[in-house]
Structure 1
Amino acid sequence: MTQHAGDETPERQSAVSGLDRARMFVRRYWVAIAAHVGVIVAWWLWVRLGDVPSYVMPGPVETIAALWDEYDWFHNTMVTAGEILAGYLIATVFGVGVALLSSWSRIVDQAVMPLMISLNMIPKVALGPLFIVWFSYGFTPNVLIVFAICVLPILLTTARGLREVEPDLLDLVRSLKGSRWQIFTKIQLPGSLPYIFSGMKVATVLAVAGAVVGEFIASEEGLGYLMLQVQVTLDTAAMFMAVLLITLIGVVLYGLVVLLERLTVTNDSRVRSS
């Protein structure tokens, strides 16, 4: 029997839908994809045509081959990713929470905001030895370093977003006896989401840097710690692989934040924030 176009099985429809999404992705991001591929090709050509020693600059193939060395890549990658995610999430919750309290209370705003800015002036590298004394080596000090380096941009952008909410809307909800929680969930939060995500996207870059710095100082595992170990043996390919994995973690985190932004921020909110 012949099968009509309208009688396609769910499996075939799902396959076609997935193919269409893949094509849309390529059409939308082909320039970015081509740029990344171009960098890899230029890297390979420079190493090959320039006859660069592998201990100075390994090629892409040698870098990928380092994954087969006995460096426990999966465990170290998960450690670094966990530190980044934990510190980042704590910074997000804390930053948004403090910004909200500041928008509700002028005393809190006048006391906490200058204090947070002053504390942020402390070099994060200088906190590493203190965290080692307080918490020893391991996961906790690195999470705290990530938190310390991420919290301010989230706090400042959220505070600005909460202040940019239209006063007429706030007065309307207050006149209707709306609670502070209703004002926050119905007015302030939707209007400030573009600002919150702006700070969160900046913080993704800082989170990756904070985790690596923390592992340089206060860790016995993770990709940053692994880089220090392979540096001793001049295993440059493994160092490059660690850098690529750290970059991949950051790209994935940034992509998740962008995806969450697209799912939650309306076009109306974007227009008001611009």
Structure 2
Amino acid sequence: MKLVGYGYAVLAHIGFLVLWQLVVMGLDVPSYILPSPIETFAEITDGSYNWWMHTWTTTAEIFGGYILAIIVGVALAVMFVWVPALNAAVMPLLVTLNMVPKVAMAPLFIIWFSYGVIPNMVIAFSICFFPIVLTTYRGLVEVEPDLINLVKALKANRWQIFIKIQLPGSLPYLFSGMKVAAILAVAGAVVGEFIASEKGLGNFLLIQQNALNTSAMMMALLLITAIGMALYGFVLLLEYIFITRKGIQS
């Protein structure tokens, strides 16, 4: 049934590309306004754009910020569960900091971390960090109380309760946060490249905008989308391995 669902998704994407091509051809849309998919994909063969360098830079920023957000977010969520006083003090502060527009903070990140991959990675981290903390913490605390009482009656210690009960029970929540964060990480990295960067697909977009090279801009957008889809697909794969497949086997 899952494979059928993925087949529908692939067909929907192919249908979108076909519809895009037909609209451009049927309405005779100028390429500087909306290039066709064929014109767009043809740009990937232009070696002067150095697609590999720009794509690799953006990928490193997205995945770097995302992985850092998972490590720090999960660690903080665990600390909040183990030390309730820390949760009462720090969680409201995190909520407040999350209200600060990250785009507005980007110039500060540039002053603190200079130009390049690092500030853009930090921006991606700052945008996708909070959903992971929030969802993981909620998953850890919303374990069935009766189950906790049962394992305590069986003389399980705190660490055993965490590893055997709380952590497995929090995985659906964690993966929900990771899915949201995957989308936000892409936006964060590209916003950083818009503001101050000498390479990356976001920077490439601005350069081609000044040259009115719409087809190259569209190709850059497709590559950014592909990176985001790869990250999201990786999360889905992990979710299948750690939740879906184990559920089927049990």
TM-score when scaled to structure 1?
0.85
User: C-alpha offsets along residues 7-50 of structure 1, whole Å, 9 cap, x if unaligned?
Assistant: xxxxxxxxxxxxxxxxx886342221221111111111111111
Q: CA deviation at 1:180?
A: 3.2
Q: CA deviation at 1:254?
A: 0.5
**1:250 to 2:211 alignment:** no
Q: Distance in 1 between matches of 2:38 and 2:133?
A: 42
Instruction: Report 1:217-256 matches (<5 A).
Output: 217-256=195-234
User: C-alpha offsets along residues 212-247 of structure 1, whole Å, 9 cap, x if unaligned?
Assistant: 101101211100010001111111011000000000
**Corresponding position of 2:181:** 203
Q: Distance in 1 between matches of 2:153 and 2:200?
A: 54
CA RMSD, 1 decimal: 1.8
Q: Which moved more, 1:88-97 or 1:176-185?
A: 176-185
Alpha carbons 1:99, 1:156 under 8 Å: kept: yes
Q: Distance in 1 between matches of 2:155 and 2:73?
A: 28
Which of the residues 169, 181, 184 maps onto 1:191? Answer: 169
Q: Distance in 2 between matches of 1:87 and 1:110?
A: 26
Can you give the 5+ residue segments of structure 2 that lack an aligned partner in the other structure?
none
* Aligned CA distance change for structure 1 residues 26 and 191 (closer, same or farther; 3 Å): closer
User: C-alpha offsets along residues 169-189 of structure 1, whole Å, 9 cap, x if unaligned?
Assistant: 323444455443322211111
Can you give the 5+ residue segments of structure 1 that lack an aligned partner in the other structure?
1-23
Alpha carbons 1:141, 1:218 under 8 Å: kept: no
Look up the SS of the partner of 1:95 in the other structure.
helix
Q: Distance in 1 between matches of 2:245 and 2:137?
A: 21
**Corresponding position of 2:117:** 139
Q: Distance in 2 between matches of 1:218 and 1:27?
A: 43
Q: Distance in 2 between matches of 1:110 and 1:101?
A: 11
What percent identity do the matched residue pairs reach? 57
Aligned residues: 247
**Corresponding position of 2:141:** 163
Q: Distance in 1 between matches of 2:77 and 2:2?
A: 36
Counterpart residue identity of residue 77, structure 1: T
**1:126 to 2:72 alignment:** no
Alpha carbons 1:63, 1:238 under 8 Å: kept: yes
**1:71 to 2:49 alignment:** yes
**1:102 to 2:80 alignment:** yes
TM-score when scaled to structure 2?
0.93
Counterpart residue identity of residue 10, structure 2: I
Where do 4+ consecutive residues of structure 1 move more than 4 Å? 266-270
Q: CA deviation at 1:75?
A: 1.1
Which of the residues 37, 62, 65 maps onto 2:14? Answer: 37
